[in-house]
Copies of this chain bind each other. A is one copy, B any other.
Amino acid sequence: MSDKVSLAQKFSLFHEQWQPKIVARLNDYDVMVVRLEGEFVWHSHAETDDFFFVVEGELDIELRDRTVTLEAGELFVVPKGVEHRPVARKGEVKLLLIEPQGTPNTGDKRTAVTKVDL
């Protein structure tokens, strides 16, 4: 059986950015940590909502009609099909992400990074 997950300990294990690392599974969902800095691409997920929780730093989730700014201890669920672009403007952000297994991070399997176990 899996053990508990300390987010601080998991973040200490890597420093690369934009590479989600799977730290736990919840049914058919991946629970992931990732470090981001700068701009991601505009994308949407046709099949699923997208869960963001900020562990450290500040993240703008740009939507076509507004921007949701998240600080540590704040979460946001981007609804299925809604275009969004995560942007970390003020330095690196540490995030907890939860998505169904196999969800491409760019919304497109051709451009998505492979999510790896940590």
Q: Give me the interface of A with B, judged by CB distance under 8 Å.
A: 1-8, 24-27, 29, 31, 48-49, 51, 55, 63, 68-70, 73-77, 79-80, 82, 98, 100
Contact = CB atoms under 8 A, between A and B. Distances in A.
B27 A73 contact: no
A41 to B, nearest CB: 21
Contact of A4 (B6, B49, B68): B68
How many copies the complex holds: the figure is 2
B74 A7 contact: yes
B31 A77 contact: yes
Contacts of A79: 1-2
Given A5-B75, A6-B73, A8-B73, 18 more contacts: A1-B79, A1-B82, A2-B77, A2-B79, A3-B68, A4-B68, A4-B69, A4-B70, A4-B75, A5-B74, A5-B76, A24-B51, A26-B77, A27-B80, A27-B100, A31-B51, A31-B75, A55-B73
A95 to B, nearest CB: 13
